[in-house]
Structure 1
Amino acid sequence: MQEKLSQSHHQTVKKAALGGAFLMAMSAVGPGFLTQTATFTQSEKANFGFAILICILVDIIVQLNIWRIIVVAGKRAQLIANEVVPGLGYLLSALVALGGLFFNIGNVAGAGLGLNVLFGIPVIWGAILSAIFAIGILIVKNALKYVDWTVQILAIIAVLVLIYMLIVTKIPYEQAVSHTFAPTKIDFYSILTIVGGTVGGYISFAGGHRLLEGGAKGQADIKYVNLGALTGIGLASVIRVMLFLVGLAVVLTGTKLDPTNPAASIFKTAAGSFGLKFFGLLLFAAGMSSIIGSTFTSTSFLDYAVNDRSVRFRDYLTVGFIAFATIVFALVGQPAKVLVVVGALNGLILPIALAILLVAALKEPIMGVRYHHPIWLSITGWIVVLFMAFASLKTIFTLF
């Protein structure tokens, strides 16, 4: 009987690990992800490959640390933070939820614009339909199962769209590879921006909290941490590399991308009106998956104080979270200044959150007496903390 329970647990946690991988990856692949990649590909050309390479290495360090500590402790990040310093978890919750709340404005706008490109319906109505769809997925009974299915389908759509674009575009592979490993110029700002956009704010915790809610707990489930984190990083990285290669092929022809929508320019230039439709599909997939990822993770930071699940407090948070973003977009559009400030905030959340968890990893009452955090993860984790703290503070001082 115990063996059957063990097999059932492992199957459940394995599904949760893969669900967490797709949730994390597709949370990262939002409308901002598409715009950043297109913009930096135009300004840096093949040298942007080096920034992507550094981003992938930082992603691995951050996600393996955060997922591992959350799962071994068996608690959400904010509860761990409260055990490190009483009250610290409430600060972390506020930072993550606030960043996710305002970034959802861009996610809703992106999904609405995607439907506008595909079907010609007004962007605001596309945003409202996307919001309703996301709420339905997140509050339905057995929501985690439908969340997993949805983000996996959206990931498949994104990958297939980009594979098609690679096929119809002449890609300068040799130049891309050579500059990735031997860049002629390094742009510090681009590295900071894409790292923050891939593992900043709520994205850092999306997979770890999904794995925790799927039943993972303790050292026995560390192998699923590795499976989920590396799969998610791999998926997000593949999507970014494919978009970078298509964009590089376009900008090397001398094409100037439209600054208001540089990613759309890439698809239209490479494959005409048909390519633009494909961009609409990709933008809708990116926006929808990010709405779901942002809302799931941000609300997971806000409902831990409520023990009576019959109240369905998480569902009310979910509706309010998505409705707020949709209403703000409907009334004032996409407030660029707010999103820039929140972007800096999300970049600052990463070193704060990672530092808290690295401290927690050394505390026996939190992690257990038999757990020893790998030295290489601790050292590289603190290097990332220092790098991102310096970069984030420099960015904030520049803004103000």
Structure 2
Amino acid sequence: MRSTKASTAILGAAFLMATSAVGPGFLTQTTVFTTQLLASFGFVILVSVVLDIFAQLNIWRVLTVSGKRGQDVANETIPGSGYLLAGMVVFGGLVFNIGNIAGTGLGMNVLFGIPVQFGAAISAAIAITIFLIRDFGRVMDAFVKVLGLMMLLLIVYVVFTSRPPIAEAAYRTIFPATLDAAAIVTLVGGTVGGYITFAGAHRLIDAGISGVEELSRVDKSAVTGILLTTLIRFLLFLAAFGVVAMGVSIDTANPPASVFQNAAGEIGYKLFGVVMWAAAITSTVGAAFTSVSFFKTFSKRIEEKSNLIIVAFILFSTGIFLLIGRPVQVLIWAGTINGFILPIGLAIILLGARRVLDSIDYAHPKWLELAGWLVVAIMTAFSILTIFGKL
């Protein structure tokens, strides 16, 4: 029984990370950057995958081996830094969740023709219901796995109908014609930035899966989540590139919907509604769960009421969306903001790795630590270049 529950949680953690990354921002960012960079966007995805793997493996290993969440590792390393990290992650998660809620509304609008705001409110209620269930962890795991697989299959269909120039996409993935630092920052930020990097590890710790003996399964879970995210990203890129290669213009008001509709007509447009809603609702669940996990260890009372705080987080995100609107702009900026958070959070975890692992019979691989610092350097440089608009 214990083995079955552990296996379910491990696979659930991979899907939680992947579906947290594959949100409405993911769909929008991929489409927007494909129209700008064309086949060269494949190179941006390739770079982001390499950075993702090194960032994720460092953070998942340090946290799960020590059995401590990100904020606790940070506080033990630099007193007070855990509160700073928690504040940044929660802010980034909130920005993302506003976009996630917007995405659920857009999806329902496409499927049923109801107002975006009404669809967002219904979806928020569905997400809240999950966290009101006593054993919400297992329900959350099943929810993100089912919807994650559904998204993957529907995007495969759209790629098939758009008939992209695969040879050109493959060539430019290795030899890009253009390079865009802002695209890399936004893409990495949207895939593992902010709360997303910690989502799977925090889920495993909540499920009681930690320690050196679980390392192989933790690595498998992390890599599975990254590869699933990468597969969906490349498939969506190919679908968008196929539409652009036809000479069809992408509607800037709703870029991913335009791709699905141009690729597969009215059926494609409805499929977009399903994919958008599934991506948005699973990301809403992931963002809320992980953001709250960043400060629930600061107080026993907060930990005991964490599910109610998650509900409040979703309600607050929904309220802000209903007030400000502008979903596409919010979705692009969400990835960029979380891209800035990644090097700070990863640097703190790397600094804390030796301190929190000193008393444990585990030596964090030097090559992995160095690769992690390389990610910190690259993302810091790209973030600075993005801020000053020099590349």
Range class of TM-score, shorter chain? over 0.9
Q: Which one of 179, 184, 195 corresponds to residue 202 of structure 1?
A: 195
Query: Alpha carbons of 1:342 and 1:283: their partners in 2 closer, same or farther (altered >3 Å)?
Result: closer
Shift of 1:295: 0.2
Q: Which one of 378, 386, 389 corresponds to residue 395 of structure 1?
A: 386
Aligned residues: 390
Q: Which one of 78, 81, 84 corresponds to residue 77 of structure 2?
A: 84
Which stretch shifts more, 102-111 or 324-333?
Answer: 324-333
In the alignment, the residues of structure 2 paired with residue 228 and residue 335 of structure 1 have an alpha-carbon distance, to the nearest angstrom, of 31
- Partner residue, 1:172: 165
Matched, 1:362 2:362: no
Shift of 1:169: 2.5
Matched, 1:386 2:370: no
Shift of 1:369: 4.4
In the alignment, the residues of structure 1 paired with residue 330 and residue 142 of structure 2 have an alpha-carbon distance, to the nearest angstrom, of 32
**Could you tell me which amino acid in structure 1 is paired with residue 382 of structure 2?**
A
- Identity of aligned pairs, percent? 46
In the alignment, the residues of structure 2 paired with residue 61 and residue 391 of structure 1 have an alpha-carbon distance, to the nearest angstrom, of 17
CA RMSD of aligned residues (A): 1.9
In the alignment, the residues of structure 2 paired with residue 347 and residue 308 of structure 1 have an alpha-carbon distance, to the nearest angstrom, of 32
Shift of 1:13: 2.9
Query: Alpha carbons of 1:342 and 1:121: their partners in 2 closer, same or farther (altered >3 Å)?
Result: closer
TM-score if structure 2 supplies the norm length?
A: 0.95
Query: Alpha carbons of 1:375 and 1:10: their partners in 2 closer, same or farther (altered >3 Å)?
Result: farther
**Could you tell me which amino acid in structure 2 is paired with residue 346 of structure 1?**
N
Query: Alpha carbons of 1:331 and 1:91: their partners in 2 closer, same or farther (altered >3 Å)?
Result: same
Gaps of 5+ in 1: 1-7
Q: Deviations over 1:289-346 (max 9, x none)?
A: 110010000000121122258x842122112111111111122213777766654432
- Partner residue, 1:46: 39
**Is the Cα–Cα contact under 8 Å of residues 25 and 335 in structure 2 kept in the other structure?**
no
Query: Alpha carbons of 1:214 and 1:274: their partners in 2 closer, same or farther (altered >3 Å)?
Result: same
In the alignment, the residues of structure 2 paired with residue 259 and residue 336 of structure 1 have an alpha-carbon distance, to the nearest angstrom, of 9
**Is the Cα–Cα contact under 8 Å of residues 253 and 328 in structure 2 kept in the other structure?**
no
- Partner residue, 1:313: 305
Query: Alpha carbons of 1:338 and 1:249: their partners in 2 closer, same or farther (altered >3 Å)?
Result: closer
**Could you tell me which amino acid in structure 1 is paired with residue 86 of structure 2?**
S
Shift of 1:168: 2.1
**Could you tell me which amino acid in structure 2 is paired with residue 302 of structure 1?**
F
Which stretch shifts more, 263-272 or 338-347?
Answer: 338-347
The aligned runs of 1:1-400 (5 Å cut-off) are 9-308=2-301, 312-334=304-326, 343-363=335-355, 365-398=356-389
**Could you tell me which amino acid in structure 2 is paired with residue 231 of structure 1?**
T
**Could you tell me which amino acid in structure 1 is paired with residue 244 of structure 2?**
V
In the alignment, the residues of structure 2 paired with residue 231 and residue 223 of structure 1 have an alpha-carbon distance, to the nearest angstrom, of 12
Query: Alpha carbons of 1:345 and 1:269: their partners in 2 closer, same or farther (altered >3 Å)?
Result: closer
**Could you tell me which amino acid in structure 2 is paired with residue 270 of structure 1?**
A
**Is the Cα–Cα contact under 8 Å of residues 80 and 366 in structure 1 kept in the other structure?**
no
In the alignment, the residues of structure 2 paired with residue 138 and residue 27 of structure 1 have an alpha-carbon distance, to the nearest angstrom, of 16
Query: Alpha carbons of 1:344 and 1:182: their partners in 2 closer, same or farther (altered >3 Å)?
Result: closer
In the alignment, the residues of structure 2 paired with residue 369 and residue 118 of structure 1 have an alpha-carbon distance, to the nearest angstrom, of 52
TM-score if structure 1 supplies the norm length?
A: 0.93
Shift of 1:180: 1.0
Shift of 1:274: 1.1
In the alignment, the residues of structure 2 paired with residue 164 and residue 54 of structure 1 have an alpha-carbon distance, to the nearest angstrom, of 26
Query: Alpha carbons of 1:336 and 1:117: their partners in 2 closer, same or farther (altered >3 Å)?
Result: closer
**Is the Cα–Cα contact under 8 Å of residues 104 and 325 in structure 1 kept in the other structure?**
yes
Query: Alpha carbons of 1:131 and 1:81: their partners in 2 closer, same or farther (altered >3 Å)?
Result: same
Q: Deviations over 1:263-303 (max 9, x none)?
A: 11111111111110000111001110110010000000121
